[in-house]
């Protein structure tokens, strides 16, 4: 067992944290249900704007954007929501990069490794984690 107790970032409840975002199982399940709802909504309302989606589904814009980055949520060509490839600026319907750039970055190992830092919005400080310090004697 390598878990630790953390407060859920959504509801504040303590839970046994294992990995991934600090969100308790109950909230995780809620988010998953919400995702299915949003996915359905986007499929039925292809031309819905981001505001419409967040209002009708009662979901945070940040959450929707996260699903998009994870390539779980795909917007159709009719959607007014236009995403740009972070590398070349081409229009894309999901994720962060166009197919061409994805292929190119996949070949470029050093570039792919540096992509993980995109979520700079809120990195929860992990106060429980301490670095080992070296003694100089
Ligand atoms: Zn929670
Ligand atoms: Zn691109």
Within a domain: 126: no
Within a domain: 66: yes
Those residues with Cβ within 8 angstroms of residue 80's Cβ, 6 or more apart along the chain or in another chain: 47, 48, 49
Ligand 1: distance of its center to the CA of 32 in Å? 13
Per-residue pLDDT at 109: 62
Per-residue pLDDT at 25: 94
Domain range enclosing 79: 27-109
Within a domain: 89: yes
> Any idea which ligand is nearest the CA of 17?
1
* Helix (H/G/I), strand (E/B), else coil: 14: strand
Within a domain: 1: no
Within a domain: 11: no
Per-residue pLDDT at 77: 87
Within a domain: 85: yes
- What is the pTM (predicted TM-score) of this model? 0.68
Extract the tokens encoding 40. 């359905």
Taking phi first (over 0 means left), then psi (-120 to 50 degrees means alpha), and beta for anything else, what does residue 20 get?
left
Structural domain total, the chain: 1
Give the position of tokens 């972070």. 86
Within a domain: 58: yes
Nearest one of 54, 51, 53 to 43, comparing CA atoms: 53
Question: Who surrounds ion ligand 2 at CB < 5 A?
Answer: 85, 87-88, 90, 98, 101
Per-residue pLDDT at 120: 43
Taking phi first (over 0 means left), then psi (-120 to 50 degrees means alpha), and beta for anything else, what does residue 136 get?
beta
pLDDT tens-digit profile, the chain (137 residues): 567 999 999 999 999 998 888 999 999 999 999 999 999 999 999 999 999 999 999 999 999 999 999 999 999 989 999 899 999 999 999 999 999 999 998 887 655 455 444 444 444 444 444 445 455 55
Question: Who surrounds ion ligand 1 at CB < 5 A?
Answer: 8, 10-11, 13, 24, 27
> Any idea which ligand is nearest the CA of 22?
1
């Amino acid at each position: 067992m390598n878990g630790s107790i953390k407060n859920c970032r959504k509801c504040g409840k303590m839970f046994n944290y294992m990995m991934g975002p600090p969100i308790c199982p109950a909230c995780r399940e809620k988010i998953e249900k919400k995702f299915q709802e949003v996915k359905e909504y986007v499929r039925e309302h292809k031309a819905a704007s981001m505001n419409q989606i967040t209002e009708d589904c009662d979901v945070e814009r940040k959450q929707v954007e996260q699903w998009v980055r994870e390539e779980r949520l795909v917007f159709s060509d009719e959607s007014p929501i236009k995403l740009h490839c972070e590398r070349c600026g081409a229009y894309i319907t999901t994720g962060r990069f166009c197919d061409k750039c994805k292929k190119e970055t996949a070949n470029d190992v050093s570039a792919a490794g540096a992509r993980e830092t995109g979520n700079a919005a809120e990195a929860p400080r992990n106060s429980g984690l301490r670095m080992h310090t070296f003694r100089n004697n």
